[in-house]
Structure 1
Amino acid sequence: MIVIKYLWYYTMWTLVRIGLHLYFSKIKVTGRHNIPKNTPIIFGSNHENAFIDALLITTSNTRFDHYLVRAGVFGNPIAKALLNSLNLMPVYRAQDGVNPLEANKQIFRACFEALAKKYSVMLFPEGEHNMRRHRRVLKKGITRIALGAVNFEGGTKEVSVVPVGVNYSDHTGFRSTVHIVFGEPIVVKEQEENAKNYNKLTSEITEGLSLVHVSLDRNAYLGLDAIFFHDLDSHQLIEPEKINHKSAALENRLDEVNEVYDEKKELEEAGLSFPFRSISNGGKLKMLLLVPLALIGLLINLPVLLPVHWFVKTKIKEVEFVASLKFGFALLGFCVWWWLLASWIWDYSSRWELVIIGTLLPFISLVSLNGFLRKWKRFQTTRMLSNENLQPKYDAFVERVNLIRNSISF
């Protein structure tokens, strides 16, 4: 039975990994050497982008991961069976209508048993998902599992907590970039489960997590975000070490930081959308050259694009779920649609070279469509700056940001 479970898990792992490398233009992974071998691990990550966070982390390492996710996604019996088959376990909160301490006892025991077998457990200790790149207060769940595991009868006597940072250049954009950072492991050995040890371990995990993802000061977040990311290129990787260091240099300049946000807010109220980078003449030429392939990409992929667009626009209430659902629909929808296209080409031509072209063209044209839409958005926003009132305000905003950046050698 365990062999079948392994085969099922790693088959899905492989399919998702391939899909993620098609969905993102680049997935950079740093710190794989920090993942201990042949020892139980708890992966604790920041949580900015719903399910896709877990998919990126688990396909960036080869451990047999178990995951804690909120209980609400287990409501459907079919979904529950599928999630359980992939090692997902529900974690209960007060809003789930139960006593979370009692309801989670069985789940924590399952975590202890998985760790005793030298498997890994993944969870998001912030207890919420939010696209804002700032530090959050951690919940106690990760420390309860870590200390509970080393004190569990018949369990492991040592567990490593590995902080993981998932850093997106664009949380919702297709063909954006992501940087996954595995931090130095925090070794937890058998010790008494008391408030002092809980607080000490929580502090250590908080510190470790703050080093692996972009964790701006929460109170000054909007201004810092404007300074560092207002002109973010969709293919620029987020480098937590660099950004966090520069952010710390502005801790005593909060008035300046807040003034930057006020200027950005004024520009947004005037109609400018961020992040924004003006398009060059070369960019305009590339946009025009992409038109034919973009049109093909739209037409040939419309049976999948249309329902996905409709669902995201009308049914998704939390923006944090957009990328996860776009990826999930795309993985299933495009695989089926492109397989049907390839089958039809084979039935009518019986030529492998045409089948290969018919399989590659939909993806290449889809990427071209995405590139065109990104450049078109930049083109439209750049045109707005021709407004005689808006351009001077934008120039003053950029000048202020550049002065601050230069002062911290950004």
Structure 2
Amino acid sequence: MKSLWLHSVRLYIQIGMFFYYKKIIIKGKTNIPKTQPVLFLGNHQNALLDPLLIATQSGRFCYYLTRAAVFKKPLVSRLLKSLNMLPVYRVRDGWSTITKNNLIFNKSVQLLSNNNAITIFPEGSHNLVRRVRPLSKGFTRIILEFAEKFPDQTIYLIPVGFNYENIKEKGSRVSIYFGQPILSSSYNNLSTVEATNLLKQDVFEAMSKLTTQIPETNYEATLQQLQDLNVDFTNPEQVNACIDNGFENCVSKPNKASFIKILLQPLVYLILCVPVIIWRTLVKPKVDEEEFLSTFRFAICLTLVPLWVLVLCVILFYAFGLIIASIGFSIIILLMLVYIKS
């Protein structure tokens, strides 16, 4: 029953992603083992959309280590746990809660020993900056405990790079780079301190090659220069080469305006007037962290937009019959597809 639930949710989110993004580019998917234990380790820029992209594009059903704060409400907690999310406690949640992580880490080790996949964002928090931030050591603890309990097994550590064309906007492009596996067994013969430091270093370097890595020094100036050059942020190899070469021989993406999108926007917004108004007046003003803007917008697209389209079709059905309602539904879907994909 749970398998059916997970398949259904993944399919629904995949459809939502298809309508939300202009294009989703996947690189390195062949690097992901299909049946071995896998630990996905990605940079974390876009709140809930990062794990949702792994869930829908990796080909593996995953467990997700998620900050415990989102589990506070019983109904939400039950839903999240049904989607294989596991709460992880941080110092800000209170020192008394930190010991609860022991159970979560133990469970993670057991899941990996049974050839499951787990997603962790080792930066420890999300941030819109276009670089991999220093990694926390929580993920290394799972790896080292696994090595101690199951020395004959190997976890495939898959570094992941998320590259958003425009993090805050719908209808943009995103690329996901899955890197070459790093084998956990390579660190088995090292001391705890040596293994921890080397794991953090190796994973950091691998992740940095899979996403744009703008140095912290002069970050804003560098970002502005890249934007002025109109680089393709979904291609981290090109962008990082541009930075390394002092902004010489940088590859710019075609700068063409979509007149179709400009023409269709008023019509699409008119059709979806109720979800748009709810988003702009009730939801968006209450989003305190800008990293969550896309997450809440996607949630509106995933819930209110289909519901509103259904309401419109029901009105058409009772007013004009099944044929007109079917034609109306087809036109709405076609308009939204052309608007998003153009």
**Would the TM-score normalized by the shorter structure come out above 0.5?**
yes
Paired with 2:238 and 2:190, the residues of 1 have a C-alpha distance of: 38
Give yes or no for the alignment of 1:116 onto 2:113: yes
Paired with 1:364 and 1:88, the residues of 2 have a C-alpha distance of: 35
Paired with 1:135 and 1:196, the residues of 2 have a C-alpha distance of: 22
Change (3 A) 1:290 1:45: closer
Paired with 2:269 and 2:157, the residues of 1 have a C-alpha distance of: 45
Preserved contact between residue 298 and residue 366 of structure 1 (Cα < 8 Å): no
TM-fit CA distance, 1:192: 5.6
Q: 2:70 aligns with which of 67, 70, 73?
A: 73
Structure 1, unaligned stretches of length 5 or more?
254-276, 373-410
Structure 2 SS opposite 1:138: coil
Preserved contact between residue 295 and residue 369 of structure 1 (Cα < 8 Å): no
Q: 1:325 aligns with which of 290, 296, 307?
A: 296
Aligned to 1:86: 83
Paired with 1:230 and 1:132, the residues of 2 have a C-alpha distance of: 17
Aligned to 1:212: 210
Aligned to 1:184: 180
Paired with 1:55 and 1:356, the residues of 2 have a C-alpha distance of: 31
Q: 1:362 aligns with which of 312, 332, 336?
A: 332
* Deviating more after overlay: 42-51 vs 304-313: 304-313
TM-fit CA distance, 1:371: 9.7
Q: Percent identity?
A: 29
Preserved contact between residue 134 and residue 221 of structure 1 (Cα < 8 Å): no
2:244 maps to amino acid: A
Per-residue CA distance 1:352-398 (angstroms, 9 max, x = gap): 4x3333224334545677799xxxxxxxxxxxxxxxxxxxxxxxxxx
| Aligned pairs for 1:1-400 within 5 A | 4-99=1-96, 101-152=98-149, 157-189=153-185, 190-191=188-189, 194-230=192-228, 232=230, 236=232, 238-250=234-246, 286=259, 290-291=262-263, 293-352=264-323, 354-366=324-336
Preserved contact between residue 66 and residue 120 of structure 1 (Cα < 8 Å): yes
Per-residue CA distance 1:330-358 (angstroms, 9 max, x = gap): 10001111122222323333334x33332
Change (3 A) 1:369 1:178: closer
Paired with 2:97 and 2:238, the residues of 1 have a C-alpha distance of: 39
Paired with 2:218 and 2:155, the residues of 1 have a C-alpha distance of: 36
Structure 2 SS opposite 1:218: coil
Paired with 1:6 and 1:192, the residues of 2 have a C-alpha distance of: 39
Paired with 2:15 and 2:234, the residues of 1 have a C-alpha distance of: 22
Aligned to 2:251: none
Structure ID, larger Rg:
1
Paired with 1:163 and 1:29, the residues of 2 have a C-alpha distance of: 14
Higher RCO (CA < 8 A, seq sep 6+): 2
Paired with 2:28 and 2:227, the residues of 1 have a C-alpha distance of: 24
Paired with 2:238 and 2:74, the residues of 1 have a C-alpha distance of: 45
Aligned length in residues: 335
Preserved contact between residue 34 and residue 60 of structure 2 (Cα < 8 Å): no
Paired with 2:204 and 2:78, the residues of 1 have a C-alpha distance of: 34
Structure 2 SS opposite 1:204: helix
TM-score norm. by structure 1 comes to: 0.76
Per-residue CA distance 1:48-81 (angstroms, 9 max, x = gap): 1100011111111221200011111001100000
Structure 1 SS opposite 2:122: coil
Structure 2 SS opposite 1:335: helix
2:36 maps to amino acid: T
Structure 1 SS opposite 2:118: strand
Structure 2 SS opposite 1:21: helix
Paired with 1:318 and 1:33, the residues of 2 have a C-alpha distance of: 35
Change (3 A) 1:336 1:300: same
Structure 2, unaligned stretches of length 5 or more?
249-253
Structure 2 SS opposite 1:68: strand
Structure 2 SS opposite 1:179: strand
